[in-house]
Amino acid sequence: DGGITQSPKYLFRKEGQNVTLSCEQNLNHDAMYWYRQDPGQGLRLIYYSQIVNDFQKGDIAEGYSVSREKKESFPLTVTSAQKNPTAFYLCASRMHRQGFTGNTIYFGEGSWLTVV
């Protein structure tokens, strides 16, 4: 089945530790995104990538890093510099066509990260 797969579903991080969240899609989508969701807040954009080997910072990129070495994969690393990483992380993707209005963004099932 086509879709977006995030792993792990639940992850615990110790203070000072870097952790990586995986996101893989088999939809042949060009663009991929990472959002963070906190209770009572809207989804906030961390990073996005329109094409392989290129990515841009979103609204809350500090303390996070990404890579886009393959079209299908867009892993997110939560570094020790992120002071409040406990949240629900959502990966998303969409087909990008220059000038096309409003391509739909589809989401994975999310990953819960908790600092212990």
Q: Can you give the binding site for other proteins, defined by CB under 8 A?
A: 4, 6, 31, 33, 35, 40-45, 48, 50, 58, 88, 90, 96, 98-99, 101-110, 112
Give the 3-state DSSP-derived string for 32-69, with helices as H, strands as E and coil as C. Answer: EEEEEECCCCCCEEEEEEEECCEEEECCCCCCEEECCC
- Shortest gap between Cβ of 2 and other proteins (angstroms)? 14
| Shorter beta-carbon distance to other proteins: residue 105 or 115 | 105
87 neighbors 37 (Cβ within 8 angstroms): yes
Residue type, 4: I
Q: Indicate the residue among 17 and 109 with the shorter CB distance to other proteins.
A: 109
